[in-house]
Structure 1
């Protein structure tokens, strides 16, 4: 993009695509192109819907291997402009259209309009791809119509919420599995969530498009002392299975009891071999154990708790 060279100053760039465009490559450009990332940020994706013909387009059967562009454009949207409503005077039909859109994308905000007239404040400065915005995700969307859409062969959105904290190593392995296979990742159009990680007071926020995953701990958002630590997320995609996703994330929960307590003498496997150590801390920054070796070197040990080959009791200790 050479806009910054040809125009003295501008506030934003609006990219208009065709009605047959796949939004994914456009969105991904803002994640993978370093030059574009340095100058621009993706504020949001807006989809304009022809209310008169949208159901026809959504129901259109495509040849095998060909995606339905109308469905994908709704799946990626942050805002949906339900346009030409004057051509659909039946209120029941309008409600049916909105419900169908919500079954595809439960998080997109819908604005009814004619001639595409919408207050610009609803379309600009959305910060939809900001991790901070993910933290503002309203838990009530989990109960919204369409949020629990049944698994089938269509594009849909699913949302899950459950109490508990996750083991960071298990979480990293699960995410790698989830987006590591191109075929599986290509069916994950957009996803975002807020997670509680064992040993961290900061909330872990993530979002992604297909295989492009971004996640970090929020410095400005901590779990409160009386706040229920929980995980909540939403996935929008094709052929997604809510129970499989829930099971995958819940499989990362830290429910196992630690084998050792503070003050226990242990042996830990290091690059130099087995060494004597003492447990001096538990669950610091996501690590189950903080150890001190006899030479006063500190180790933060990150391990699956059901694997004992790199940490065991000191000789003579049972």
Structure 2
């Protein structure tokens, strides 16, 4: 597929944790123009949830979990795109007219972009057809102040989609001025507008770094240089995947992309949970430690109606109203699954808090002693 017209356009949907990427992708995938499209969803954590909640026909959802696209699963993205192309060319897969990649909120977009534009095999078969970045109007300014990844996500965008803008109009106006400074040319859409949920939002034309601020070209150049170094050091057949989540043998350049204080972990519960216990756990976590809770997403079996799970989404102290699903997305797995991403909030503390509300005895964990020796590590912590 060397002809330019035959290349498959790839759109990247990015934005920081909790900005509303999955919600927007859900709307876009319902557009009839996306019937011959595929979605690749990357989750930062060892338990995948987002792919269960994205509605699509057929088998067009590919999940990449246990890492961040800019780090541990970048090679897996290349492998996935190559496998899709091989399947199409050999007739094992139906033709695909577009691919949408939803990155984890922690992803630096530059290496994801370079994986598509800089790999000769991928570039021969796929075109990077623009980047759509979702920005949370409520937490946007604080997020841009605190996280380099968020600033890069905005700077590289062809379109910016502002979510939750109607919750705080004044904050949205101030945020728009900040976004203009980082990306003067990208149009800004309101996520609640009909236009933002159409397939056309992904159609932006061949990506042009020259239309962005000068930093974007430099970031891509740095990634290209790093890719060459990595290629020569590891050879043609080294494609890092799930096995690299422990960083064994992984390139230090990738391991150190994110702040070491940011942790992702999952909580799995086999038995249905009392609704009041869950409500008290969430209320205490967000009220006392909301600034440390970067993201929570969960699918929960409640004891009142365990056959109809509840979906939870939260960012810092802001949680969306719970959504009750009519049935489990995967009838074979009805366990409660929570994915929690924190900054300076130890996993052991959150797990103990959750177990306490469920009435479980305290489990002897090896990392508790260090935390108990330093009670100032988490304000308000009690054991």
What TM-score, normalized by structure 1, do the two folds share? Answer: 0.38
The structure richer in helix per residue is 2
Structure with the larger strand share: 1
Q: Say which structure, 1 or 2, has more relative contact order (CA 8 Å, 6+ apart).
A: 2
Give the number of the structure whose alpha-carbon radius of gyration is greater. Answer: 1
